[in-house]
Amino acid sequence: MSWNFAGKTAVLTGAGSGFGLECARIGARLGMNLVLADVQPDALERAAVELREMGAQVLAQRVDVSKAADVEALGAATLERFGAPHLVFNNAGVGGGGLVWENTAQDWEWIFGVNVMGVAHGVRVFTPMMLAAAKLDPHWRGHIVNTASMAGLVNPPNMGVYNASKHAVVSLTETLYQDLALVTDQISASVLCPFFVPTGIALSQRNRPLDATGTNVDPSSSQRVAQAMLARAVEGGKVSAAEVAQRVFAAVSSAQFYIYSHPQALAGVQTRMEDVLQSRNPSDPFAHRPALGEELRKALRGN
Catalytic residue set = 162
Cβ distance 5 to 33 under 8 Å? no
Nearest-angstrom CA–CA distance, 114 and 24: 20
Nearest Cα to 25, choosing from 181, 288, 293, 243? 243
CA distances from 176 to 46, 238, 254, 284, 298 (A): 33, 31, 18, 32, 42
Strands 33-38 and 58-62: parallel
Burial of 182 from C-beta contacts in 10 A (0-12 / 13-18 / 19+): exposed
Give the contacts of 284 (CB within 8 A, at least 6 positions apart).
293
Provide the CA 120 distance to its chain's centre, in angstroms. 12
User: Helix, strand, or coil here: 154?
Assistant: coil
Nearest-angstrom CA–CA distance, 135 and 84: 12
Longest dimension (CA), the chain: 65
Residues paired with 259 in a beta bridge: 192
Give the contacts of 126 (CB within 8 A, at least 6 positions apart).
11, 75, 78, 84, 85, 88, 144
The string over 262-298, giving b where at least 16 C-beta atoms fall within 10 Å of a residue's C-beta and e elsewhere, is beebbebeebbeeeeeeeeeeeebbeeeeeeeeebee
Measured at the alpha carbon of residue 257, what is the angle toward residues 286 and 5, in degrees to the nearest 5? 130
